[in-house]
Amino acid sequence: MTERARAQIDLDALRANVSILHEAAPTAALLAVVKADAYGHGLVECSKAAVSAGASYLGVALAQEAIALRQASITTPILAWLLQTDSVDEWVELVLADVEVSVSSVRGLQKAIEAATQTGTTARIHLKVDTGMGRAGASLQAWEGLLRDSAQAVAEQSIEVVGVWTHLAFADQPENPIVEHQLEVFHQALGQAESLGIKPALRHVANSAATFKTPKAHFDMVRPGIAVYGLSPGVGVGTSQELGIRPVMTFSANVIQVKELPAGHGVSYGHEYVTTTDTSVALLPVGYADGVPLAGSNVGPIFIGSRARTIAGRVCMDQVVVDIGTDQVVEGDEAIFFGPGDSGEPTADDWASAANTIGYEIVTRIGPRVPRIFSGGGT
């Protein structure tokens, strides 16, 4: 059966991107962030490719993501950072799978200790401090208490503090003074940890943007995510081309119908698009159920018939329409929503601009109805 649509994943491009990120932070280890199904690109395949290119850690948000990697026989160290702190069973599963876990509170630490006690295995943790992001991480007021309890658990050999980490709020704005402030707070937090005998092997701060633009944030390990997949982490950092990275995903669909419409004919729900001349339209069998943003209605760029056009009218659940004018398009032709841009096709960042969002959302929202087709093996 011919796929109606596909997301082609270029693993060679991914490996090249990892190499470029290594070059940007040559003194640091590299953790490739593969959460959210590797930003929609395929968790297991992309993880293997990243490791083959030199990533020494993999980063996930959820416990099930880490377990899926272990079930795929991936033995690379994994850090998971978004756990249900009430679930000892979840902790036990991760400890037994040799997955390292982020801890931001005394409550979370207690669950790690309970899991270590149940399994007879030391729990390997990374302590996270909130240096100004206002999201996950121990507040500065709670940090010393978390450190003291952690130091006691280390002495009892129930846990090992592998890392201490934080997250930057303005990494995509490297000149923002809050970046410098957060790094100062992080140094203070590290000093507090050392004063209590906690000396982690890994201190890590930098995401994709900071990997490229803030060397003082590299510490022992960097944690690039979106740049691994060839997309820019922000306008303040540079375009993909400027950074030397290449988009990994190409999302396309096949034309399933071409028909003529007269001038003045409305297209799709609400007739938000009306033809201005006698024209032809092409129907593509993908919509917001597949990840095409509704905000792409009338503005989403599509490469079809050897030229770039935009969606005509409202994006539907399973289909969109493109006004192709007099272009020679036939059923079965491929229409490219986004790719690396080599042939003039839009990029995911172009789609983000059109839909008033970010490239992260464009690629991660491509749904499970769209098969991933991998090229560039050797993982």
Is the Cβ–Cβ distance between 231 and 360 less than 8 Å? yes
If one counts every other C-beta atom within 10 angstroms of the C-beta of residue 346, the result is 21
CB-based burial label for 356 (10 Å; 0-12, 13-18, 19+): exposed
269 is catalytic: yes
Check 35, 48, 111, 213 and give the catalytic one: 35
Q: Are strands 301-304 and 266-267 parallel, antiparallel or unpaired?
A: unpaired
Check 259, 269, 273, 360 and give the catalytic one: 269
Output the CA angle 179-183-189, nearest 5 degrees. 145
DSSP label of 296? G
Helix (H, G, I), strand (E, B) or coil at 292: coil
- Token pair belonging to 6: 């596909």
- Token pair belonging to 273: 């698009």
- Token pair belonging to 225: 């995510």
Residue 68 C-alpha from the chain's centroid: 17
Cα–Cα dist 93/96, whole Å: 5
216 is catalytic: no
What are the b/e assignments for 249-269, b being 16+ CB within 10 Å?
bbbbbbbeebeebeeeeebbe
DSSP 210-255: HHHH-GGG-TTEE---GGGGT--S-TTT--HHHHT----EEEEEE-
DSSP label of 122? P
Is the Cβ–Cβ distance between 57 and 30 less than 8 Å? yes
What are the b/e assignments for 202-237, b being 16+ CB within 10 Å?
bbbbbbbbbbbbbeebbbbbbbbbbbbbbbbbbeeb
- Token pair belonging to 370: 């769209």
Residue positions counted in the chain: 379
Residues annotated as catalytic (active site), given as ranges: 35, 269
